[in-house]
């Protein structure tokens, strides 16, 4: 079966750095996405990785290792507004998005 695992919840301090991990087992791979979702709202796009390595975009970076079926989202200089759920999603061989359950990130002052 297809499976995406990420921690259920993480807590970090304002101004600090946090890394959210995602491991996946899917039938084929056509890219990995990270989305941010605030409570009661639709997800918003953060990053896309299809090749191994690190993609940096401002305070957010995303890393992919296809051989390990592993990705992480790195958030730097955390702000209170970063409190949200972070969803990892993989496009499988049918180009269908398979979603992780999301990691709820709590930022404390």
Residues contributing to the site for other proteins (CB under 8 A): 4, 31, 33, 40-45, 48, 50, 87, 89, 91, 96-97, 99-102, 104
When the beta carbons of 11 and 13 are compared against other proteins, the nearer one is 11
When the beta carbons of 45 and 53 are compared against other proteins, the nearer one is 45
Q: Give Cα separations from 88 to 14, 15, 73, 108, 109 (angstroms).
A: 23, 23, 9, 23, 26
When the beta carbons of 43 and 69 are compared against other proteins, the nearer one is 43
The CB-of-55 to other proteins minimum distance in angstroms stands at 13
The CB-of-17 to other proteins minimum distance in angstroms stands at 25
Q: Give Cα separations from 31 to 9, 58, 109 (angstroms).
A: 24, 21, 35
- Tell me the pairing of strands 44-49 and 53-57: unpaired
């Amino acid at each position: 079966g297809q499976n995406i695992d990420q921690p259920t919840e993480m807590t970090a301090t304002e101004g600090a750095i946090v890394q959210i991990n995602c491991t996946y087992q899917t039938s084929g791979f056509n890219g990995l996405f990270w989305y941010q979702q605030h409570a009661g709202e639709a997800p918003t796009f953060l990053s896309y990785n299809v090749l191994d390595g690190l993609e940096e975009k401002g305070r957010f970076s995303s890393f992919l290792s296809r051989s390990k079926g592993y990705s992480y989202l790195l958030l730097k200089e955390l702000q209170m507004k970063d409190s949200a759920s972070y969803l990892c999603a993989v496009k499988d061989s049918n180009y269908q998005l398979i979603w992780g359950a999301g990691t709820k990130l709590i930022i404390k002052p």
